[in-house]
Amino acid sequence: MTIYVEILPKEGILDPKGRTVKNALHQLDFPMVSNVLVGKLIQLEIESENVDEAVRLAEQMADKLLHNSNVEQYRVVPVEGVSK
Amino acid sequence: MRWGVVVFPGSNCDYDAFDTLGRIFEQEVRYIWHKDRDLKNIDGIILPGGFSYGDYLRSGAIARFSPVIEEVIRFANKGGIVIGICNGFQVLTEAGLLPGTLRENVNLRFICEDLYLRVENNSTRFTHLCDEGQVLKIPVAHNEGNYFAPPNVLKELEDHNRVVFRYSDRQGKVDEISNPNGSLNNIAGICNKAGNVLGMMPHPERRCDPVIGGIDGQVIFKSVITAAMEMAK
């Protein structure tokens, strides 16, 4: 089972990378972009056939290690068709 | 004092700390490998600078789960002296021994230069030999030194004088211009509530030998060593 853990800077916290990318997009004639957040995507292969269980485990991993709740938020997304 | 310098895969200021304590201050010092759980009879621990575990995931995030860190937490909770420098500071925040997080520098640059720090609290074990408001010239070398904490945590740090060092100019003026990395309130170093754990981004161990440009870092180690000697009496 493939699970994505999507991690982004917490709302309201300045994201220097996102700001730089937004400025670059504006220069490339995409003025409609009002905000950019740059985060990270972690792909987990979890040996489980049960989506709910895999999501629960991924959330535990995100809480314990993968994200820092002080400055980051995350979302766990089960993915179809990515598994090897 | 008997010191231990923790070595993680990717630490690269461990020798600087070892040399400073051993050669400059003639302290008993040994390395502690990150898988080691036996701290033996140690009075002080340095978590050195570097890139523990390649800084993968987040600075300090993986080092925080090293076997040695469990022992460091136990040691700190019993009142042992712990100093986290640069990556060591990042590890201490990830481990929960100090509050807040070191984020990427706001200008997205790796900063490697001598900076000025104003001593904000000279009644700690780490700074009691400093004059009030003394300005120290100490180098930084980091990409993630931008100190962040939620407003309530920041208030608690400020209200209890736990901000030990702030980035300033040569005269000790603290303002936006003297803030190199976007740290809230120009914070360069903080201590825990009990006053035995210090985290700082600048590298005092690199400013203890006049041969390499100055001795402003000495006062921090001298303070700790003299405080320990006083307590042992």
Interatomic CA distance for residues B98 and B116, integer angstroms = 23
- Kindly list the domain boundaries of chain B, sorted by start residue: 2-232
Instruction: Map B54-71 to HEC letters.
Output: HHCCCCCCCHHHCHHHHH
Q: Which of B86, B130, B191, B208 is catalytic?
A: B86
Nearest-CA distance from A58 to chain B in Å?
15
Dihedral angle over CA of A72, A62, B143, B83, nearest 10: 110
Closest CA to B195 of B134, B150, B128: B128
Chain A CB contacts of B149 below 8 Å = 70
Residues of chain B with pLDDT under 70: none
Residue contact A16–B61, C-beta within 8 A: no
- Whether chain A has a CB inside 8 Å of the CB on B111: the answer is no
Closest CA to B42 of B53, B29, B60: B29
Residue contact B148–A16, C-beta within 8 A: no
Name residue, tokens 């700690």. Answer: B124
Closest CA to B168 of B113, B105, B117, B114: B117
- Whether chain B has a CB inside 8 Å of the CB on A17: the answer is yes
What pLDDT, on a 0 to 100 scale, did the predictor assign at position A49?
A: 85
Cβ count within 10 A of residue A70: 17
Cα-based distances in Å from B189 to A4, B63, B120, B140, B163: 36, 20, 9, 12, 6
Interatomic CA distance for residues B55 and A40, integer angstroms = 14
Give yes or no: B203 in active site: yes
**Single-letter residue type at A68:** N
What pLDDT, on a 0 to 100 scale, did the predictor assign at position A81?
A: 61
Question: Six-digit token pair at B135?
Answer: 């300005």
What pLDDT, on a 0 to 100 scale, did the predictor assign at position B200?
A: 98
Interatomic CA distance for residues A2 and A77, integer angstroms = 9
Residue contact A71–B107, C-beta within 8 A: no
**pLDDT tens per residue across span A31-50:** 999 999 999 999 999 999 89
**Single-letter residue type at A48:** S
Give yes or no: B86 in active site: yes
**pLDDT tens per residue across span B150-206:** 999 999 999 999 999 999 999 999 999 999 999 999 999 999 999 999 999 999 999
What pLDDT, on a 0 to 100 scale, did the predictor assign at position B35?
A: 94
What pLDDT, on a 0 to 100 scale, did the predictor assign at position B101?
A: 97
Q: Which of B120, B142, B205, B208 is catalytic?
A: B205
Interatomic CA distance for residues A25 and A23, integer angstroms = 5
As for the ipTM of the complex, it is 0.84
Q: With H, G, I as helix, E, B as strand and everything else as coil, classify residue B147.
A: strand
Helix (H) or strand (E) holding A6: strand A2-9
CATH of domain B2-232: 3.40.50.880
Give yes or no: B71 in active site: no
What pLDDT, on a 0 to 100 scale, did the predictor assign at position A54?
A: 95
Nearest-CA distance from B181 to chain A in Å?
11
> What's the distance, CA B20 to chain centroid?
14
What pLDDT, on a 0 to 100 scale, did the predictor assign at position A80?
A: 74
Interatomic CA distance for residues B166 and B178, integer angstroms = 9
Residue contact A71–B148, C-beta within 8 A: yes
Find residues 136-155 of chain B whose CB sits inside 8 Å of chain A. Answer: 148-150
- Whether chain A has a CB inside 8 Å of the CB on B95: the answer is no
Question: Six-digit token pair at B210?
Answer: 């006049």
For the four alpha carbons of B12, B17, B20 and B22, in that order, the dihedral sign comes to: negative
Residue contact B61–A14, C-beta within 8 A: no
Beta-ladder partners of B168: B116
Chain A CB contacts of B65 below 8 Å = 65
What architecture is domain A2-79? 2-Layer Sandwich (3.30)
pLDDT level of residue A14 (50, 70, 90 thresholds): confident
Q: With H, G, I as helix, E, B as strand and everything else as coil, classify residue B40.
A: coil
Pairing of strands B101-103, B146-148: antiparallel
Interatomic CA distance for residues B75 and B84, integer angstroms = 14
Q: Helix-strand-coil percent breakdown of chain A, rounded to 5?
A: 35, 25, 40
Residue contact A70–B150, C-beta within 8 A: yes
Interatomic CA distance for residues B151 and A13, integer angstroms = 12
